[in-house]
Amino acid sequence: MKIQSFLLIALCSLAALTASAQTRNDLSIPHLEKHGMATQLIVDGKPFLARAAELNNSSASSLEYMKPLWPKLVAAHLNTVLATVSWELIEPEQGKFDFRLVDGLLKEARANDLHLVILWFASWKNGKSNYQPLWVKTNQEKFPLACSEDGKSMPIMTTLSDANRDADAHAFAALMRHLREVDGKKHTVLMIQVENEVGLLGDTRDYSPVANQAFAGPVPKELMDYLVAHKDTLIPELRDVWATNGFKTSGTWTEVFGPGKPAAMAIPVRTLSPPLTEQEHETGWRNLHWPVDEIFMAWNYARYVGQVAAAGKAEYNLPMFVNAWLQQRDHAWPGTYPSGGPVPQVHDLWRAGAPAIDILAPDLYVPEFEELCGRFTRSGNPLFIPESRAGAQGVANAIWAFGTHDAIGFSPFGIDRFAGSDLELIHAYDVISQIAPLILANQGKGTMTAMLLDNGGASQTVKLGNYNLEARFSARSFGGISNTPPERVAGLFISTGQDDYVIIGRGMNVYFTAATNPSDSVGLAMVEEGVYAGGKWIPGRRLNGDETPEWKALRFRSDTYSIQHVKLYRYH
């Protein structure tokens, strides 16, 4: 029996290694690839821009529920749908898998010419454990839970359990193996989100006996080696914590990273001021509080999720990401947002602990959209936004993210609530779909940028190519017709030649000045509105006179996004 068991293990290992080698080396499957300074998602050999939206959490659990929704998703000009696949539904009995829901989603997505991003809801969703099978939930002796400081169990699977991790990884590997078998040639599924908004809610760290033992022990050598090797390029917030405690290269967690939350201190549900001061309320969400607790949790979540992802990649090497429930003004302390999740301050912990994860992604609903995009693109992290708002503000943010940060994709949440009714999303995604080939061709080249304008806010100016471009918010449309403008609009600017630009805009006037030889005046040699069809520019009206304010600016109508092509010239 021992020899037979050994041979069985060896054969399984060989099969997994063979599958892993095949998917790693098969560049025909969806994968990430550098393009200049950008990272692009490559699908069937071509760069892909995800005009995406995410379903509500339970929608994909019923193929009947989804039937009337598919046409609405197509009509919204989506090319990608983010859909949940839950552990409890594919492995209702341990070791027995049911992929009928997965196959049904694939069939309908293909029939509607849509791609999927699969969201693996397993050990955690929004910091809680609700999507694991009943045979896991009811066997806490084998599959233990995290504990709060008072020793009470929390409805959260602990990261400090090999049994928890291995059961999740086994199910995820089975899912990825099935996807390779049924989709490895068709490439309906583009990426995988591993878990959902992980982290500990209700306390700063796990206080279960096994977690307390690990916390009292030394920081793992693997982590210390990573910090030492990357000392000069670490995320500043993490480096400052390490520096404050003397850049120690070994020791316990508190010796290396300082003290944690004071004993018996309660974590409020929301950190509105008080107890925070007004200044702390405005600025504290950018900082780490009791950093050792969050660093400890980030490492352990990263190790757990990273090993689950690695098990899946061994079967089918699709790009994988984790998403973050963000720290924010009224959730500034770890425990009020999930402690240990991939917030910007601990990205290096996730890189060290989860190398199988390709993207650290923000679920981005907070008003500091531009700042958070900047913080999530530090150290070369690609930008993919799996959850955000829709409506006028959402599509403005999406256009800005594509133009400024070479975003791989943007996805408003809960599309089944507003598919067909959100005309802002429909119109904007239509325009983005037209110009997507040009966006993708200019990613990472420094020939593209974007600006956001708020109603009542200041104008914005950027240098692109040989010119400075100034955008001013405008509520006026063509012919002097006034509309009720949105509170936020975006402009996306692509330099297509020395004096040529293609621009997506709405509710703004755009002025040009010479970046070199500033004494030169700049004129509009030609302005066309138009559309792209099949990647080719189809000009409409040639704009002049009243449609180009002061005969020197572009005017974009305020009711919807449109595309203009402009050629400039200089005169003295």
Q: Tell me which residue has tokens 């003295």.
A: 572
Is the pLDDT score of 6 beyond 50?
no
Q: Tell me which residue has tokens 């409805």.
A: 155
Reported as a single tens digit per residue, the pLDDT across 90-124 is: 999 999 999 999 999 999 999 999 999 999 999 99
What is the pTM for the complete model shown? 0.94
* pLDDT level of residue 5 (50, 70, 90 thresholds): very low
pLDDT of the residue at 420? 87
Percent of the chain with pLDDT over 70: 94
Q: How far apart are CA 388 and CA 390, in angstroms?
A: 7
Reported as a single tens digit per residue, the pLDDT across 127-164 is: 999 999 999 999 999 999 999 999 999 999 999 999 99
Beta carbons within 8 Å of 123's beta carbon, 6+ residues apart: 87, 129, 132, 157, 164, 165, 168, 195, 198, 304, 308
The answer to whether 29 and 187 have CB atoms below 8 angstroms apart is yes
When pLDDT is averaged across residues 370-392 and rounded to a whole number, the result is 97
What is the strand order of the sheet 553-556 is part of?
460-464, 467-473, 508-514, 553-556
Q: How far apart are CA 303 and CA 424, in angstroms?
A: 40
Reported as a single tens digit per residue, the pLDDT across 225-242 is: 999 999 999 999 999 999
Is the pLDDT score of 316 beyond 50?
yes
pLDDT of the residue at 174? 98
pLDDT of the residue at 477? 59
Region of 545 please: left (phi>0), alpha (psi -120 to 50) or beta.
Answer: left
- Strands 562-571, 500-505: pairing kind: antiparallel
Reported as a single tens digit per residue, the pLDDT across 484-501 is: 779 999 999 999 999 999
Is the pLDDT score of 11 beyond 50?
no
